[in-house]
Structure 1
């Protein structure tokens, strides 16, 4: 007899991808309470970063990015909004467990928001780097 191990409403049935999406959403919600202007920012998750096609862009110090800020395309209300992307696979590879993954996701989101707002990560979230 085959079927799901757990019903869909229990946490066991949440996929790794869905759990990661939840971590990004939680980090964004936490920051949005402090920075209401983030309501206009789109937060997204992609599996891996896009391949770099220009060899001149590759820097040995820049390994695989964990996140990226994609600036708005056009004036507010037209075009695409500011977008912060977190790359799931690189983050998962660097984190050993769920708690470490949640912390790393939050740090990546804070760093990208800091870049967007032109602030230091510590100004965006005073607890950045403490946990």
Structure 2
């Protein structure tokens, strides 16, 4: 008889993409407790950065691969912070390294959004 190896609520059944999304969400929630205005920000995960669209000054220029990106609100679209999963996973080998790098990238993007230094956004930034 074949069936699932583990029930859905057990971490074994969580995909790498879902696990990564959880890391981003955990980081966002941690920062939101300190910066309540982040509740209006859309935090998203994309596999890789795409090329810049014509006329988009915020797009990826094809040079170094970014780990994340802040996209300012436009019209009805809220501020958005995007974390790129594959570039982060390539740079971090273990789950702990990945969690730390995700948090650092989220802090850096939030700092850009708020116009502050990353150390002011999260006093523990860069200490781990």
Compute the TM-score of the two structures, normalised by the length of structure 2: 0.90
**Which residue of the partner structure matches residue 29 of structure 1?**
29
**Which residue of the partner structure matches residue 73 of structure 2?**
72
> Can you give the 5+ residue segments of structure 2 that lack an aligned partner in the other structure?
55-59
User: Are 2:83 and 1:86 aligned?
Assistant: yes
Counterparts of 2:71 and 2:61, CA distance in 1: 19
SS in 1 for 2:22: helix
> Can you give the 5+ residue segments of structure 1 that lack an aligned partner in the other structure?
none
Counterparts of 2:125 and 2:46, CA distance in 1: 23
C-alpha spacing 1:58/1:126, structure 2 compared with 1 (3 Å): same
**Which residue of the partner structure matches residue 41 of structure 1?**
41
1:70 shift after superposition: 0.7
1:93 shift after superposition: 0.6
Runs of 4+ in 1 over 6 A off after TM superposition: none
**How many residues are matched?**
123
Counterparts of 2:32 and 2:91, CA distance in 1: 26
